[in-house]
Structure 1
Amino acid sequence: MKKPTGNTPFAATLDIRFVGAVQGRYVLPDSGSPTVHSCRTASLSPSSVVIAAAVVGKVGERVVLRLEALGTLNATITQIVPGGFRADLVLDDAGRVHIASQINWLKRRSLRQAGNKREGQRLQPRDPKSHLYVDGQEYECFVIDVSPSGIAVSASLAPPVGTIVDVGGLRGRVVRHMEGGIGIAFDETHEATSLFEALTLRPPANDRAG
């Protein structure tokens, strides 16, 4: 699908906003760690972005984002919000015009995809925040996507393949590492309608993985 070329007049760019999820990854170069984390947008404009993520930096810290269909963006964290952070994009006028055209494209794509959900596909919860339990310890995690048979999450650690873990009230085993997260296969298949609620649960302390 051909994307727009970005000829929106600059005067109109600040009024354009996409409210929705764009999948991506990011690094926090000022932290000194090369770790790549997964994320998704909550909202996006030509001047700023709100990111849902489990690992957040500090206000004033640089963040390098790589968002689907948008490419690499440099930004500065301006606010820590529940479940993530807000960042100002570092762009010149031409860059803002280009992002504005991409936002228009994202909005049109979102309308086309609405109602086109296939049974069994990987799902993205409205609230991507959950908790990962490893060896009896609890960590905040970001849910990349989930299906009746497994889940992909991003957290501040990546347990070895084979480790038994809980994500919310769902138990499984780490089956792969990937850039920005880990893949977990559930011990049993779950009904799709119950997955999102299960992600909000916390297993009893005496029944947590590990």
Structure 2
Amino acid sequence: MYSFQPAQTQPSQPIAAQQRSFQRVTVNVEGRLMLASHEEYACSAIDMSPGDVRFTCVGRPRVNERVIAYLDHLGRLEGNVISLSDDGFVMSVNATERKREKLAAQLTWIANKHELGLPEDRRHDRLTPRDTLSELELEDGTRYACRIMDLSLSGAAVDLEVRPALGMPVRLGNMRGRVVRHFMEGVAIEFNSVQSREALTAFL
């Protein structure tokens, strides 16, 4: 199973060297890009790490230009153009350590989703939660704070400190389901029944 293991870097190393210390993973994430001129273009992130991201885009920024990207499931990223290619460019990711940790968790999820084989990944589109903080309740009534990484009408993936047993009944908010997978950051849940979009409005 994939996980980000950044190489050790020294504080004196250039930012570019620290960005390269993260291994990029292949992704296919659509989004919108805004250049320094405020022109907007559709774009696709095709591989990325918590330190940089490679885009395909018809917009042609300049090297060192500051750009802002809004990516599906990943949110807002900003940085500076490192290099150009025939069909796009590579952008650094300017972020706090906490933001990089969150991005690493999201990218880990994307990189592992095929291996996890989550049923909701094939049956229903994933939705982007507006409020990712929630609570997971176990069968014995024990509750744990969690963060929703991924949500669909038939299931969810949550960032959670504990690992309830596979098959254990759980409740996420007002939705009941069972644990179907473990992965590095937490667990995947399959709901007992397909939810309506209205039932997910508390999160969306």
User: TM-score interval w.r.t. the shorter chain?
Assistant: 0.3 to 0.5
TM (normalized to structure 2)?
Answer: 0.46
TM (normalized to structure 1)?
Answer: 0.45
> Looking at both structures, which has the greater relative contact order when contacts are Cα pairs under 8 Å and sequence separation is at least 6?
1
